Amino acid sequence: DGGITQSPKYLFRKEGQNVTLSCEQNLNHDAMYWYRQDPGQGLRLIYYSQIVNDFQKGDIAEGYSVSREKKESFPLTVTSAQKNPTAFYLCASSNGLAGTYEQYFGPGTRLTVT
């Protein structure tokens, strides 16, 4: 089955700790994205990557970091600098960055920081 996997589904961390969220896709898509969703708000773009070893900041990149060493993988690290890290995090991918390409989403990781 082709798709996007995110792990773990639920993640709990203490304040001040860095945490890495996993995202893997086997759709052979070039572009990958990380979004954050808070209750009552639309999704907001954190980082995106069009090709391997290249990525760009989205609208709310502060306190987050990413890497894109392989086409199929785009892990997100939530650092201790992120002031409000508790949220639902969604990974997505598409065939290309702009134009007519449809985005496909993973099942999400719910991060709770106490």
Partner 1 sequence: KQEVTQIPAALSVPEGENLVLNCSFTDSAIYNLQWFRQDPGKGLTSLLLIQSSQREQTSGRLNASLDKSSGRSTLYIAASQPGDSATYLCASNDYKLSFGAGTTVTVRA
Q: Which residues bind partner 1 (CB under 8 A)?
A: 4, 6, 33, 35, 40-45, 48, 58, 88, 90, 92, 97-100, 102-108, 110
CB of 75 to partner 1, least distance (A): 17
Closest CA to 22 of 83, 112, 82, 107: 107
What whole-number distance in Å separates Cα of residue 24 and Cα of residue 3? 8
- Kindly tell me which of 43 and 80 has the beta carbon lying closer to partner 1: 43
Q: For partner 1, which is the closer residue by CB, 37 or 79?
A: 37
Give SS3 for 104: strand
CA distance 62 to 40: 21
CB 85 → partner 1: shortest distance, Å?
18
